[in-house]
Structure 1
Amino acid sequence: MRASARRRAALLFLIWGWLLSAPVFAGDYAAIVKDAELALQDEEYVLSAEIQYRLSPKATDALKNGIPLFWAVNIEIKRQRDFWWDQTIAEKHLRFKIQYQALLNVYRVRNEDSGEGGNFSSLGAAMGALSSIRYVPVLGKSALADDQRYAVGVRVVFERELLPLPLRPLAYLNPQWYLSSGWYIWNLKN
């Protein structure tokens, strides 16, 4: 009896772990890649994208209490193959941070890679600045062959791992913290 009880407990534990790790959609609270394109500019492909960020009440409260929120915009270019998995040709990750500074009563948006940023008097203006990505170099034209097919994907990942330690367990269990987008994919014509 003990062995079967242990097996049942182990099975329940595995099912419970799987359910907790399964994707949960936040419904109205998530990032959405509205539009993205890769354009050739001076022998280099550059990305421009429009992203809509929809913060949940929990994320908005945390932000207003001084907790910075981080998102990574992941860009992938893959060579499409018929009989094998697609081959990743290029990957780029852009990390953005938004933080409310109560002393100055401003929202600060910062590109963590380039160090560029700005201060905004309202959350709406800050999110608007965060939403637009313009002319980010991704890949040189010479890296792509003319006779191959390529797909480009862009997604936004909310980085819960960068939340303060006491908040992380709640962020993994509460759907209001599932603020990532799905992949926005299109075929690249070179």
Structure 2
Amino acid sequence: MSGALRLLLLFLLLSLGASAWSADFTVKEVQIELQDQRYLMSAQIDFQLSEQALEALSNGVPLTLEVHLIVEKTWHRFWEPLPYEGYLRYQIRFLALTGLYRVVDLQNGEEQSFVTRDAALRALGEIDELALVTQAELINGESYQLRLRAGLDIESLPLPLRPLAYLGTGWKMTTGWTRWPLQP
């Protein structure tokens, strides 16, 4: 067997193994509607945590999830200002003393408690009527898009855990960029 073929087989085996160990975040649904001259976005993101992240969470390590949002022209030039760019940050933590999962909206400090981890993760993935831009901020006749990406913020992990998260496959959880049309 040639060296190139062996290398290809090794790469395929490692790829299959890595995908079996890691989890995925998925953008299930995005709705954009115009209300009172303002574009509002609602979204449903499915946060499926990896075994490593679930173990850390069950041991009291808080996990911070970040949603990055950008409204831009479909054919955006890098020097043009963006009509909207923002980050939504949420934290989930298991409280061993009470057996509850706490979800904190880090924008406003609002907290919710859940009996089950699945209920907490479902609540984390619900974004309801987030104001993006006003209709006046977009140029009529231009075509715009909303780009959305959600992922685990490795920098928010406790310092001793960060090297493992950067080097391990089970910590790189993201939706990748998804695009949704936005017409003024």
Fold similarity call, TM over 0.5? yes
Unaligned 5+ segments in structure 1 are 1-24
Match of 1:159?
153
The 5-angstrom pairing of residues 59-74 of structure 1 reads 59-74=53-68
Output the CA distance in 2 between the equivalents of 1:161 and 1:60: 17
The 5-angstrom pairing of residues 125-144 of structure 1 reads 125-144=119-138
Match of 2:8?
none
Match of 1:102?
96
Residue 26 (structure 2) pairs with residue 32 (structure 1): yes
The change in CA–CA distance for 1:56 and 1:112 in structure 2 (over 3 A counts) is same
Moved over 3 A (4+): 25-28, 84-87
Whether the 8 Å contact between 1:79 and 1:86 is mirrored in structure 2 is no
Output the CA distance in 2 between the equivalents of 1:166 and 1:185: 35
Query: How much has 1:26 moved relative to structure 2?
Result: 5.0
The 5-angstrom pairing of residues 114-133 of structure 1 reads 114-133=108-127
Output the CA distance in 2 between the equivalents of 1:71 and 1:58: 15
User: Percentage identity across aligned positions?
Assistant: 34
Whether the 8 Å contact between 1:71 and 1:159 is mirrored in structure 2 is yes
Match of 2:49 among 35, 49, 55: 55
Residue 183 (structure 2) pairs with residue 189 (structure 1): yes
The change in CA–CA distance for 1:51 and 1:145 in structure 2 (over 3 A counts) is same
Structure 1 length as normaliser, TM-score?
Answer: 0.81
> Counterpart of 2:118 in structure 1: which amino acid?
G
Residue 45 (structure 2) pairs with residue 45 (structure 1): no
Query: How much has 1:80 moved relative to structure 2?
Result: 2.8
Output the CA distance in 2 between the equivalents of 1:86 and 1:74: 20
Output the CA distance in 1 between the equivalents of 2:31 and 2:19: 26
The C-alpha deviation readout for 1:24-55, integer Å capped at 9, x for no partner, is x7565021111112211111111100100111
Partner SS for 2:98: coil
Whether the 8 Å contact between 1:26 and 1:177 is mirrored in structure 2 is no
Query: How much has 1:85 moved relative to structure 2?
Result: 4.4
Match of 1:91?
85
Output the CA distance in 1 between the equivalents of 2:74 and 2:118: 39
Root mean square deviation of aligned Cα: 1.7
Output the CA distance in 1 between the equivalents of 2:75 and 2:121: 38
Query: How many positions carry a matched residue from both structures?
Result: 165
The change in CA–CA distance for 1:26 and 1:67 in structure 2 (over 3 A counts) is farther
Output the CA distance in 1 between the equivalents of 2:120 and 2:35: 28
Whether the 8 Å contact between 1:78 and 1:86 is mirrored in structure 2 is no
Match of 2:3?
none
Unaligned 5+ segments in structure 2 are 1-17
